[in-house]
Amino acid sequence: QVQLVQSGAEVKEPGASVKVSCKASGYTFTTYDISWVRQAPGQGLEWMGWISAYDGNTKYALDFQGRVTMTTDTSTSTAYMELRSLKSDDTALYYCVKEGEDSGTRYFHHWGQGTLVTVSS
Amino acid sequence: DMQMTQSPSSLSASIGDRVTITCRTSQSINKNLNWYQQKPGIAPKVLISAASTLQSGVPSRFSGSGSGTDFTLTISSLQPEDFATYYCQQSYTSTRTFGQGTKVDVK
């Protein structure tokens, strides 16, 4: 079965960077895009961007452009999301998500367990 | 930028009630609209894809409809396990967008 296993919780100071990993199994990694979605405490879902696991192409949400980098390592079926210049309002649960497709519509099919990133001095 | 307006932001309902949640987009997205359910402390789960396709394992009391700019998620008879937060999400554009969410709680 499809599994996305994310790295553990992180505590960072303002201005630092964080890199979250997402190891995929149970499917051919290069066949599907990976998106990253975050959720601040008590708030809604916020899409950050996606990466093609096939060719490494990326698309980032405007709010994160210049501050986020998404990469993949196809040899280990792992996706990474690095967020720089952290601020307190980056404190959130970060999810990696494998996309699915239905009649040409992409949707967020399989979700990782989430990685809590806390930004605090 | 695609704007999504989900309503209501919250609602209170009783077991057996029919519940309707709407999602409106700022431009036509054909049927590229998905619905998710999220319970506290758990990752979201897809219920409906492409506006109306019920995902495998999702009870038939859930249904989705709409196309263009106006979409609806309906729960025909609310069950105890349906108290949760629901999100719509568009994938028409290369930048994905979520609605603000609708929290369904006990009346």
Task: Compute the average pLDDT of residues B31-47.
Answer: 97
Does any CB of chain B come closer than 8 Å to the CB of residue A41?
no
Q: Is residue B34 within 8 Å of B97, Cβ to Cβ?
A: no
What gap in Å lies between CA B96 and CA B99, rounded to an integer? 10
Sign of the dihedral defined by the CA atoms of residues A51, A102, B1, B65, in that order: negative
DSSP state, A26? S
- Please report the pLDDT score of residue A29 as a whole number: 97
A105 vs B contacts (CB less than 8 Å): 31-34, 49-51, 91
Work out the pLDDT band at B91, boundaries 50, 70, 90.
very high
Mean pLDDT of A21-39: 97
Q: For residue B1, is pLDDT > 90?
A: no
Residue A23: enclosing H or E segment and its boundaries?
Answer: strand A18-25
**What's the pLDDT score for residue B64?**
98
Cα separation of A54 and A7, whole Å? Answer: 22
Q: Residue B49 region, left (φ>0) first, then alpha (ψ -120 to 50), else beta? A: beta
Distance CA B44, CA A37 (A): 11
Per the CB < 8 Å rule, is B94 touching A45?
A: no
A8 — pLDDT class (breaks 50, 70, 90): very high
Q: What DSSP character marks residue A85?
A: S
pLDDT exceeds 90 at position A20: yes
Q: What is the pLDDT of residues A36-84, one digit of tens each?
A: 999 999 999 999 999 999 999 999 999 999 999 999 999 999 999 999 9
- Could you give the residue ranges of the DSSP H alpha helices within chain B? none
Average pLDDT over residues A4-24: 98
Are A88 and A14 in contact by the 8 Å Cβ rule? The answer is yes
Report how far residue A36's alpha carbon sits from residue B43's, in angstroms, rounded to the nearest whole number: 12
- In one letter, which amino acid is A24? A
Nearest chain A residue to B86 by CA distance is A44
From chain B, pick out residues whose CB is under 8 angstroms from the CB of A102: 49-50, 53
Rounded-to-integer distance, Cα B71 and Cα B88, Å = 9
Q: Which chain B residues touch A62 with a CB distance below 8 Å?
A: 1, 95
- Summarised one tens digit per residue, pLDDT across range B72-82 is 999 999 999 99
Number of separate helices (H) and strands (E) present in chain B: 0, 11
Q: Say whether residue B1 is in contact with chain A using an 8 A CB cutoff.
A: yes
Mean pLDDT taken over chain A: 97
Are the Cβ atoms of B49 and A105 closer than 8 angstroms? yes
Please answer yes or no on whether A108 and B33 come within 8 Å at the CB atom.
no
* Contacting residues of A for B38, CB less than 8 Å apart: 45
